Amino acid sequence: MLRPEDNEKLTRVGPGTPGGELMRRYWQPILLSSELPEPDGAPVRVRLLCEDLVAFRDSEGSVGLVDAYCPHRRAPMFFGRNEECGLRCVYHGWKFDRDGNCTDMPSESEGTPLQARVKIKSYPTFEKAGVVFAYMGPADRKPPPPDYEWMRAPDTHRFVSKTYEACNYLQALEGGLDTAHSSFAHNNDIGNRNMPRNRDTAPRLDVELTDYGYRYISERSGDGGRNYIRVYQYIMPAQQVRGSVIAIEGGRAKYPRFDGHLWTPIDDESCFVFNTMYSYDADTPLPRDVVMNWESRAGRGPEHHIPGSFRLKANASNDYFIDRQMQKAKTFTGIAGVNTQDYALQEGMGAIVDRSKENLGTSDKAIVAMRRLMLRSIDGLERGEDPPGADPASHRNVRPHDNYLEAGADWRDSFLPELAAKW
């Protein structure tokens, strides 16, 4: 269980809150590059950490992120004209560049000193690997941009998608860190005993703290004295990366890849999930048709989204299209797609979980470790310390791994070469 005051610290992300100040010390993924497809194109509304903002790609191709409202009379900047390296408010024509400077004030007399004094709130952005990141913390503590391994994989070997989730980021993150639930929520073939998670439903966890967060394993019993070991990486504040499940002992995946998620708080009661996958084999790109098939099987393909949005058609209003007959005969949940299964359970907990009512077990070690690490980081921030994982030097050389291992063997020694980034 978690004390209510600690739950508040972790879940509230608005300006001035302990959790919000921690989140603002990291670069947060906010948009797919494809959402701003061209210079001087249409602006996009952004809600991030309880703040309403507008993003635009200027004439030079760089992304600006500014307050959603003009500092003159608070007119909405979403309707602004994106032109000549700035966003112009259509109410009185005041224009601002991506750094927040007012570059034109046509409704006032030429040379007015007001123009030099007025700025619109703006945040720095960084774009790489098809994702736009923003930093909302103090300028003098801004870390270098992130450098995760998936960001360095070639375009042909990498894919990123985005989905909206109607709950607090923390319970979504905890779902990603929870390995035990895959034996149940993601058991899509209840009669198949070949899958490690179906054979052994009580994984043993080992958590090892690092300077970027932690790495942890789930160990499940296999055949012939060999156990299935899956090494996960948790990178502060809200990213998890894992190896793909090896379904057949000794086999090799046709398209070897790592999967992961980054959870970005929109506000206290919703978040965006950036879903990453990348090939760990330089000779094996990820074909687009294969990737889109995986996305569809997960329940987050283009056909699963409400048109023009990142919201799923399967949602609480229709009980995620649960099929009770399928639940009796084929799958544990009766809900199609692992992504949809996660959302049904995480959103179904309510917008913000009351963690004081929980009863945790040994399979929750990774979740407990994350909460403690986040709370320690909040305390450290109040003492003037920089939070773990913000410096890309701490996380750029890590990767996950999964494979079979002789029972009793040390996974750290056995997997040491595989746990180092290659891209």
Q: Residue 190's pLDDT is what?
A: 86
Ordered by start, the domain boundaries in the chain are 28-134, 149-419
Q: Which amino acid belongs to residue 410?
A: D
As a whole number, mean pLDDT of residues 161-172 equals: 98
Q: Considering the chain, what percentage of its residues have pLDDT values greater than 70?
A: 98
As a whole number, mean pLDDT of residues 360-384 equals: 97
As a whole number, mean pLDDT of residues 293-321 equals: 96
Q: Is 337 helix (H, G, I), strand (E, B) or coil?
A: coil
Provide CB contacts within 8 A for 59, sequence distance 6+: 39, 40, 83, 84, 85
As a whole number, mean pLDDT of residues 97-103 equals: 98
CA distance 415 to 423: 17
As a whole number, mean pLDDT of residues 117-124 equals: 98
| Chain segment 384-410, per-residue pLDDT in tens | 999 999 999 999 999 999 988 998 899
As a whole number, mean pLDDT of residues 260-280 equals: 97
Question: What band does 248 get if pLDDT is binned at 50, 70 and 90?
Answer: very low
Question: What band does 278 get if pLDDT is binned at 50, 70 and 90?
Answer: very high
Cβ(400)–Cβ(241) below 8 Å: yes
As a whole number, mean pLDDT of residues 98-113 equals: 96
Q: 3.40.50.620, 3.20.20.140, 3.40.190.10, 3.90.380.10: which CATH number matches 149-419? A: 3.90.380.10
Q: Is the peptide bond before 196 cis (omega within 30 degrees of 0)?
A: no
Question: What band does 252 get if pLDDT is binned at 50, 70 and 90?
Answer: low
Question: What band does 254 get if pLDDT is binned at 50, 70 and 90?
Answer: confident
As a whole number, mean pLDDT of residues 259-266 equals: 97
Q: Residue 250's pLDDT is what?
A: 46
As a whole number, mean pLDDT of residues 203-215 equals: 95
Structure tokens at 230: 């899956």
Least confidently predicted of 35-49, 111-125, 240-254? 240-254
Judged against a pLDDT cut of 90, whether residue 255 lies above it is answered with: no
Domain 28-134 fold is Rieske Iron-sulfur Protein (2.102.10)
Q: Is 180 helix (H, G, I), strand (E, B) or coil?
A: helix
Q: What is the pTM of this model?
A: 0.95
Q: Is 29 helix (H, G, I), strand (E, B) or coil?
A: strand
As a whole number, mean pLDDT of residues 258-283 equals: 96
As a whole number, mean pLDDT of residues 168-197 equals: 89
Inter-axis angle of helices 169-177 and 4-11, nearest 10: 100
Question: What band does 244 get if pLDDT is binned at 50, 70 and 90?
Answer: confident
Half-sphere exposure of 299 (CA within 13 A, CB side): 21
Judged against a pLDDT cut of 50, whether residue 91 lies above it is answered with: yes
Sign of CA dihedral 303, 272, 268, 65: negative
Judged against a pLDDT cut of 80, whether residue 197 lies above it is answered with: no
Judged against a pLDDT cut of 50, whether residue 249 lies above it is answered with: no
Q: Considering the chain, what percentage of its residues have pLDDT values greater than 90?
A: 87
The per-residue pLDDT of the chain, averaged, comes to 94
Judged against a pLDDT cut of 80, whether residue 223 lies above it is answered with: no
